[in-house]
Amino acid sequence: MDHLEIFKALSNKSRLQILQWLKEPEKYFPVQESAGFDEAGVCVGQIQKKAGLTQSTVSEYLSILQRAGLITSTRIGQWTYYKRNEEAFAKLSELINSTL
């Protein structure tokens, strides 16, 4: 776990918002017919629509969050789905509590 990468990833308001939405996807996104939130996560198109940002910006943000280990992706057909990596958040919480 690269701590600097994580904190860089968290240093953007839109990326923080995406993480908040992914924490409770059923609260922020419409039901998906192709894949459930628990199994696959949220379709990138839904995230982009909710964020109101360009597809390229959302893809870049998701890539940054994924490289930091904060989210995981699953590909189903032509779509990519994202969800939070709760294990990484538990480790981050531990790090903050023990080190910072």
Distance CA 11, CA 54 (A): 19
| Type of residue numbered 8 | K
CB atoms within 10 A of CB 9: 22
Residue 65, domain CATH: 1.10.10.10
- What's the pLDDT band for 1 if we cut at 50, 70, 90? low
Q: Which residues contact 40 (CB under 8 A, 6 or more apart)?
A: 74, 76, 81, 83
Per the structure, the complete domain to which residue 93 belongs is given by 3-99
Number of compact structural domains in the chain? 1
pLDDT tens digits, 42-98: 999 999 999 999 999 999 999 999 999 999 999 999 999 999 999 999 998 988 888
Distance CA 45, CA 40 (A): 14
Nearest to 61 by CA among 14, 6, 7: 14
pLDDT of 100 over the 80 cut: no
Biggest alpha carbon distance in the chain? 43
Structural contact between residues 64 and 15, judged by C-beta atoms closer than 8 angstroms: yes
> CA neighbours within 13 Å on the CB side: how many for 5?
13
